[in-house]
Amino acid sequence: MESIFPQISIASNPELAGQLNDLLQRFYTDIYNLLAETQTLEGVKTFGSFPVTPSSAPSSDYQVTNKKYVVDNFTINTAIDISGKSWVIDEDTMASDDAGKVPTQQSVKAYANQIGYVDRGDPSAWDWEVGDFTTDGTWRDLDCSPIVNNSNAIAIRFVLYLLDDAVTSAFLLRKNGNSNLNVFDGRYTQVANVPLIANLIVACDGNQVVEYWGSNLAFTTLGLTVAGWWLKI
């Protein structure tokens, strides 16, 4: 049975042959471009160029995918305001203990400024002199809070000037509340009538109080000054 469609000879119709050739070229070009835009690897599109910048508002799926790629790989070179973020903490005392928050630079600096050694400066006179002490061989309290006016103080540095006309006269300091002589600081006179100068470092309690002990005698000269103290948050 013969076909009802007429047979057309391309060889005898060069114009039709040219049209078919153009059609095939456009078809293959469209197929190539389509495949190039929709190549996927586990559902993630890949692109040869970015149609939007990170600041653009994406609308279609491929723009959202492309924007995420750009944002994930760009370098931060400008300051970003992170105040008010739930994962940021701005706390000068660092009193919290949260492993899920990041401190601001300002809070870290404030915290660092509150620890370490505090230099009192240049006092012009002794804070205590011989008449301010009861030297009777008994441990007594020495309140340093009017000078060391910080409840975070953990230790105090003193400068001691001692002179006596007897050998082995002693002036000692220790932490308030201690009861043994294994931990203390102080000095004994080695030679009579020769002045002795020393730096003493003693831990203090939460009220900035230490204890002192003086030999059961009257010192010729005794001067004690707070030079500085150490802080802890």
- Compute the residue count for the chain: 233
In this structure, the answer to whether residues 136 and 216 fall within a common structural domain is yes
**What is the total count of domains within the chain?**
4
In this structure, the answer to whether residues 22 and 106 fall within a common structural domain is no
In this structure, the answer to whether residues 177 and 220 fall within a common structural domain is yes
In this structure, the answer to whether residues 33 and 96 fall within a common structural domain is no
DSSP 52-78: S-TTS---SHHHHHHHHHHHHHPPP-S
* CATH number of the domain to which 183 belongs: 2.60.120
Q: What is the pTM of this model?
A: 0.58
One digit per residue, the tens of pLDDT, for the chain of length 233 reads 455 555 556 566 667 667 777 777 777 776 666 666 555 544 555 555 555 455 556 666 666 666 665 555 556 666 777 777 788 888 877 778 888 888 888 888 877 777 789 999 999 999 999 999 999 999 999 999 999 989 889 999 999 999 999 999 999 999 999 998 889 999 999 999 999 999 999 999 999 999 999 999 899 999 999 999 999 86
224: nearest Cα among 133, 112, 154, 138? 133
203: nearest Cα among 162, 158, 138? 158
In this structure, the answer to whether residues 95 and 191 fall within a common structural domain is no
Establish if 18 belongs to a structural domain.
Answer: yes
In this structure, the answer to whether residues 129 and 112 fall within a common structural domain is no
Q: Give φ, ψ of 104 to 5 degrees.
A: -75, 160
Which domain, by its residues, includes 94? 88-116
